[in-house]
Structure 1
Amino acid sequence: MLVRDIMSQDVTALAPSFSIADVAAIMRQLDISSLPVMDQDQLLGIITDRDIVVRVVAEGLDPHMERADFHMTRDPIVAAPDWTLEQAAQIMLTRQFRRLPVMQQGRLVGYLSLRDLARHDGEQALNDTP
Structure 2
Amino acid sequence: MNVAAILDEKGRDVFSLRADATLSEAAALLDQKRIGAIVVVDSSGAIAGVLSERDIVRQLARMGASALTEPVAGCMTRDVITASPRDTVEEVMASMTDRRIRHLPVLEQGRLAGIVSIGDVVKRKIEQTEADAEAMKAYIASA
Structure 1 length normalisation: TM-score? 0.89
Tell me the SS of whatever aligns to 1:36: strand
Partner of 1:2 in structure 2? 2
Question: 1:99-128 deviations in whole A, cap 9, x for unaligned?
Answer: 111112221101111111122123334434
1:56-67 matches, cutoff 5 A: 57-61=60-64, 62-67=66-71
Tell me the SS of whatever aligns to 1:60: helix
Question: 1:76-102 deviations in whole A, cap 9, x for unaligned?
Answer: 011111111211111111111111111
Structure 2 length normalisation: TM-score? 0.82
Q: Which moved more, 1:4-13 or 1:92-101?
A: 4-13
User: What's the Cα RMSD here?
Assistant: 1.6
Partner of 1:114 in structure 2? 118
Which has more helix, going by share of residues? 2
Which of 20, 23, 36 matches 1:20? 23
Bigger relative contact order, structure 1 or 2, given CA contacts below 8 A and separation 6+?
Answer: 1
Q: Which moved more, 1:87-96 or 1:61-70?
A: 61-70
Q: Tell which structure's C-alpha radius of gyration is larger.
A: 2
**Structure 2: any 5+ residue segments left out of the alignment?**
138-143
Instruction: Give the length in aligned residue pairs.
Output: 129
Distance 2:68 2:98 in 1: 34
1:1-130 matches, cutoff 5 A: 1-7=1-7, 8-39=11-42, 40-55=44-59, 57-61=60-64, 62-127=66-131, 128-129=133-134
| Fraction of identical pairs, as percent | 33
Tell me the SS of whatever aligns to 1:73: coil
